[in-house]
Chains A and B, each alone.
Chain A
Amino acid sequence: MSERPRSGIRGARLLRHRGAAAGLAVVSAVLLLALFAPWIAPYDPGTQALDSGLSPPSVSHWLGQDKLGRDIFSRLAFGSRVSLAVGLGTVSISLLLGLLAGSLAGFFGGRTDRLLMRLADMLLAFPGILLAIGITAVLGPSLRNVLIALSVLGWVGYARLVRAQVLQVRELEFVQAAQAVGSPPARLLLRHILPNALSPILVEATFGIARAIVAEAGLSFLGLGVQPPTPSWGAMISEGRHFLFVAPHLTLAPGIAIMLTVMAFNFIGDGLRDALDVREEIR
């Protein structure tokens, strides 16, 4: 095991990565937008003004108005809550499930291990968001079901990471000694295995947030995500694309918001990978 650098040094290394620094700035801005949406948004996101529907950006409506005359900037601000909630929520649930499955597979080995890893293979056989599409299609569209659908697949990556770490650490002498004196697996997990697996997990989680945000927006785009009138970036693109000829701003604004947010998380992930010296496949 290599000696881990102090967190201050790693933080400095992350900030030296220009992309990651920019990413952190964008993510902080989106986080503030989501937290303070009711104060930042100039209008209620649901208030309609049918006579000024599809109006282009103006002084009173910075990003214009949608088909029903709702203020696009306000909807964007409230929509950021859905994106971040799904991004962070999916990663948290997946991480918990992955920790559990990975440590079960690693500690018990044998049949438990084979069963869990086979299940992971089966889930990975479904390409892209296809399984999530299937699950939300049968469960019905809602925020909760989007979280379920994305977490069903999300845990696999973390489980593999944790399992690999358990297998490695389990063989170390001091761990075997700890086990021999009756140290419970949970303690072993918290004291020895998690700290070692933390770097790759952190990197994986950062990319995971980006993937979940795209997946949620994709499901909402298909009508399988959060239901109207709750604003969601994906649904805003879907509504807007029918007016591409007359009002392209309906599509452009939420698209840029998604792209910037996703790119920000990807840049942070890249920066973390470099700063923490994590080697992994490029996805």
Chain B
Amino acid sequence: MGRILVARLWQAVPVVLGVVTIVFLLIHLIPGDPVEIMLGENAVAAQKEELRKELKLDRPLATQYVEFLSGLFRGDLGTSFRSREPVLREILSRFPATLLLALASLLAALLVSLPLGVLSAMRPRSAVDHLCGLFSMLGLSMPNFWLGPLLILLFSIQLGLLPVGGWGSAAHLVLPAATMGTGMAAILTRMLRASLLEEIRREYVQAAAARGLSRRAAVLRHALRNALIPVLTVLGLQFGSLLGGSVITETIFSWPGIGRLTLQAIEARDYPLVQGCILFLAVLTVAVNLLTDLLYLRLDPRIRVE
């Protein structure tokens, strides 16, 4: 187990380094002069020079890269060009909101997909199964940027039950979490159905039924536990795309997280902050994927033996 742990951690190193390199190169992809784009055409030459120095754009690319890396090791992601605050501090101040929303979406997705997946698998090809299938297809095909406004229209404008957006109470969390969680619920429902159907066919479930256990008990007590293992992996992998989707959902609901910060930084052409946000979310995703991997190892002894 220890050796696998070290091996997985070691495998993540080049990925993180690659992510850092790609994010570092982003600012150099800007067509034309980044300093001019950030300051606008009317900026004075002295102003431009100052910013160029501050962003270290006046040095050779290799030097910039090394300094970028050494900065990262010191926890220095640069300074926001608009607020003059350290980028990392700005991101960390928004992180709790993003984490809260992601976890709430995950919980919502699980609460919906667990019963739906089990119901579908217990009665394949029944009316319930078809309904669940339709729900998953709708959930998969409904983009956040449409579902969000739709939920606002229904629950805030028509029914007046929940706030349109903002932050402050549990009620504020409901619509954004439902928006982000729906796609994931759809994926998890499909996954759980497929995985549970496969388990139900196995001998140990038949044996449990033969011992006189009801079908429901055999499925819930025995098959479900094993069926959940692959679902868990998908859950971990999907957590990353939740974080990526936070840019859209947080913007719709004016949720004060990193996603909204990213778009605000893009609109303000605050490239150090854009870089920081993207880097933070990507590295977080790598970390979550790694954790999922390790959890998977713990849960499924078969893999450890391999």
Contact = CB atoms under 8 A, between A and B. Distances in A.
Contacts of A214: 143
Interface in A112-150: 118-119, 121-123, 125-131, 133-135, 137-140
Given A122-B19, A282-B190, A251 B141 contact: no
Interface in B110-147: 137-138, 140-146
A interface majority secondary structure:
helix
Please indicate which of the listed interface residues A127, A137, A259 has the most CB atoms of chain B within 10 Å of its own CB: A127
B145 to A, nearest CB: 4
A241 B252 contact: yes
B19 to A, nearest CB: 5
A254 B153 CA distance: 15
Given A122-B22, A128-B240, A266-B141, A255 B248 contact: no
Nearest to B247: A133
Contacts, number: 145
Contacts of B289: 125
Given A139-B31, A259-B146, A266-B141, A126 B26 contact: no
Interface stretch (B61-69, B205-213, B217-225, B279-287): B279-287
A217 interface: yes
Given A127-B243, A134-B274, A234-B145, A118 B14 contact: yes
B263 A218 contact: no
Interface in B92-107: none
Interface string B226-258: 000000001000001111110110011000000
Given A127-B244, A129-B244, A137-B266, A218 B143 contact: yes
A103 interface: no
B149 interface: yes
B141 A127 contact: no
Contacts of A234: 145
Contacts of B282: 125-127, 130-131
Nearest to B148: A241
A191 interface: no
B145 A237 contact: yes
A281 B150 CA distance: 30
Contacts of A237: 145-146, 149
A214 B140 CA distance: 11
Contact of A222 (B21, B23, B247): B247
Contacts of B171: none
A121 B19 CA distance: 9
Nearest first, the 7 closest Cβ-Cβ pairs linking A and B are A128-B244, A122-B18, A127-B244, A255-B146, A263-B141, A127-B240, A130-B244
17 contacts: A118-B15, A119-B18, A122-B14, A122-B22, A127-B242, A128-B244, A131-B278, A133-B266, A138-B29, A139-B31, A218-B144, A222-B247, A222-B266, A244-B149, A259-B141, A267-B137, A281-B234
